[in-house]
Amino acid sequence: RPFLGKLVAKQALLGTPGCGCQPLTLAVRNISFSPRQVTSDASFHSVSFSETDHPKVLITGGLGQLGVGLAKLLRKRFGKNNVILSDIRKPPSNVFHSGPFIYSDILDYKNLREIVVNNRITWLVHYSALLSAVGEANVALARSVNITGLHNILDIAAEHGLRLFVPSTIGAFGPTSPRNPTPDLCVQRPRTIYGVSKVHAELMGEYYHHRYGLDFRCLRYPGIISADSMPGGGTTDYAVQIFHDAIKSGKFECNLKHDTRLPMMYIDDCLRATLEVMEAPTDTLTMRTYNINAMSFTPEELAQELQKQMPLEVTYDVDHVRQAIADSWPMNFDDSNARKDWGWKHDYDLPELVQTMLNYFGTDTRMARAN
Ligand SMILES: NC(=O)C1=CN([C@@H]2O[C@H](COP(=O)(O)OP(=O)(O)OC[C@H]3O[C@@H](n4cnc5c(N)ncnc54)[C@H](O)[C@@H]3O)[C@@H](O)[C@H]2O)C=CC1
Ligand SMILES: CC(=O)[C@H](N)C(=O)O
């Protein structure tokens, strides 16, 4: 592929007094058509391991709602030591002892590169982000982590020939997008820093794919519901919290209106979709960013499904920031391209989701409350 790495690196060095990394990095960054710090033998193949080998995976932001579950799934498939979890937080001891964990701040480009090189990483799953509600509460940090951090990830992935997965979200759409259903390709004018940063990620990833041959893969996730991990500050968090509060007290105060319809998915479907799209043969992918969908419900419908199993009293105290976000997001997601191209199929609809969540928390707790 036409890549001007050698030339760029040389130009950067010529303009560099001495041999420090910082001036080199800055000089390369000023050349707009190339990722920084390009070496002459950098390869830009979509997969840099032989087809019979397992990939060597790095997951960034791995201690959030989704990362630990993904590591578990990938380790089952590729072997414990072939999947490295990373984050800037201290891992709980069960996570620390379940497989390789490493500190990695995605804002530290040199540290990221060192991890990728020293561990011969071939797949990068980039989960670090600030979600929609916390992003609105700290726009500067969200911009830095979600946008500057992504730039580091893209450059590292392009320079080292990695296959890169970056999740996007229903939050990448806005009030002027068609909401019911929302197709893959339509107007995207989100009104949150989270949404803006995710549209940026989609477009930058696709640009690097077309410009440099980066093997970029992206799924737009719905709100994800999990039993053994808590959400990190999003608009769809209520759909996890309701289970915890129902089991603890039989009462739940919802911060969205009763009729707010949003696309949702059980975590097992989300993680399986991620593995499937990462393993999909390149020629099946007609796009690089796909919607994926499973179900769509309102707080009232979720509560009614739970009430079939246990007593639950629901009240509403609307959080206006979250409500405004939810009102601008898709109500239903059209994922027909994912189903057609690489065979996406969800397993969990609303009744299975509720049953599985309750099973996780234990029948005993439920029966005790009912009596
Ligand atoms: N959970 C959901 O419902 C959905 C998640 N997604 C996306 O999936 C990805 C993972 O989501 P979650 O696990 O729910 O997020 P989360 O908010 O639970 O976890 C994000 C992690 O990123 C880490 N992080 C923050 N700053 C960092 C930095 N400078 N360097 C390295 N790590 C840093 C945090 O410590 C945290 O553990 C995110 O990109 C999110 O946008 C997309 C749609 C839905
Ligand atoms: C749907 C998402 O991206 C996330 N759960 C959020 O609500 O911010």
Omega before 181 within 30 of 0, i.e. cis: yes
Q: Could you tell me the fold of the domain covering 57-370?
A: Rossmann fold (3.40.50)
Total-model pTM: 0.89
ipTM > 0.90? yes
Q: What is the pLDDT of residue 42?
A: 41
Mind listing the pLDDT tens digit for each residue in 265-274?
999 999 999 9
Q: Is the beta carbon of 205 within 6 A of some atom in ligand 2?
A: no
Calculate how far, in angstroms, residue 7's C-alpha sits from the geometric centre of ligand 2. 42
Q: Pick from 262, 252, 248: which is nearest to 316 by CA?
A: 252
CB of 129 closer than 6 angstroms to any ligand 1 atom: yes
Cα–ligand 2 centroid distance for 132 (angstroms): 6
* Per-residue confidence (pLDDT) for residue 183, from 0 to 100: 98
C-alpha 311 chain-centroid distance: 34
pLDDT at 95: 98
The confidence score (pLDDT) of residue 334 equals 98
Ligand nearest to the CA of 66: 1
Rounded Cα distance, 79 and 61, in Å: 20
**pLDDT value for 249:** 96
The residues that bridge with 165 in the sheet, in sequence order, are 125, 217
The response to whether residue 63 sits with its C-beta less than 6 Å from ligand 1 reads yes
pLDDT at 33: 41
| Ligand 2 atom index nearest CA of 235 | 7
Q: Which ligand is nearest to the CA of 273?
A: 1
Q: Is 147 touching ligand 1 by the criterion CB < 6 Å?
A: no
Residue 293 CA: distances (Å) to CA of 53, 58, 169: 31, 25, 11
The total number of residues written for the chain in this structure: 371
Beta carbon of 236 within 6 Å of any ligand 2 atom: yes
Instruction: Determine the pLDDT at residue 35.
Output: 63
What atom in ligand 2 is closest to the CA of residue 65?
A: 5
Pocket mutation for ligand 2, best pick of 127, 128, 132 (most atoms within 8 Å of C-beta): 132
Distance 360 CA to ligand 2 centre (A): 23
Atom of ligand 1 nearest to the CA of 126: 39
pLDDT of 29 reads 36
- In three-state secondary structure terms, 169 is strand
| Whether 221 is catalytic | no
The angle subtended at Cα 224 by Cα 223 and Cα 226, nearest 5°, is: 150
pLDDT at 31: 33
237 alpha carbon, closest ligand: 2
Alpha-carbon distances of 346 from 73, 141, 202, 355, rounded to whole Å: 16, 34, 23, 16
Residue 182 DSSP one-character state: B
219 lines ligand 2 (CB under 6 A): no
Map 215-228 to HEC letters.
EEEEEEECEEECCC
DSSP 308-370: TTS--EEEE---HHHHHHHHTS-SSB--HHHHHHH-------HHHHHHHHHHHH-HHHHHHHH
pLDDT in tens, 281-340: 999 999 999 999 999 999 999 999 999 999 999 999 999 999 999 999 999 999 999 999
CA of 191 from ligand 2 middle (Å) equals 14
For residue 60, the CA-to-ligand 1 centroid distance in Å is 8
- Angle (CA) 269-275-281 rounded to 5° is 125
Beta-strand (E) ranges in the chain? 57-60, 83-87, 101-103, 123-126, 163-165, 168-169, 215-221, 223-225, 251-254, 262-266, 289-291, 295-297, 313-316
The pLDDT tens digits along the chain (371 residues) read 333 343 333 333 333 333 333 333 333 333 334 566 544 344 444 444 444 579 999 999 999 999 999 999 999 999 999 999 999 999 999 999 999 999 999 999 999 999 999 999 999 999 999 999 999 999 999 999 999 999 999 999 999 999 999 999 999 999 999 999 999 999 999 999 999 999 999 999 999 999 999 999 999 999 999 999 999 999 999 999 999 999 999 999 999 999 999 999 999 999 999 999 999 999 999 999 999 999 999 999 999 999 999 999 999 999 999 999 999 999 999 999 999 999 999 999 999 999 999 999 984 455 445 54
Q: Is the CB of 171 under 6 A from ligand 2?
A: yes
Of the listed ligands, the closest to the CA of 168 is 1
The full set of domain ranges for the chain reads: 57-370
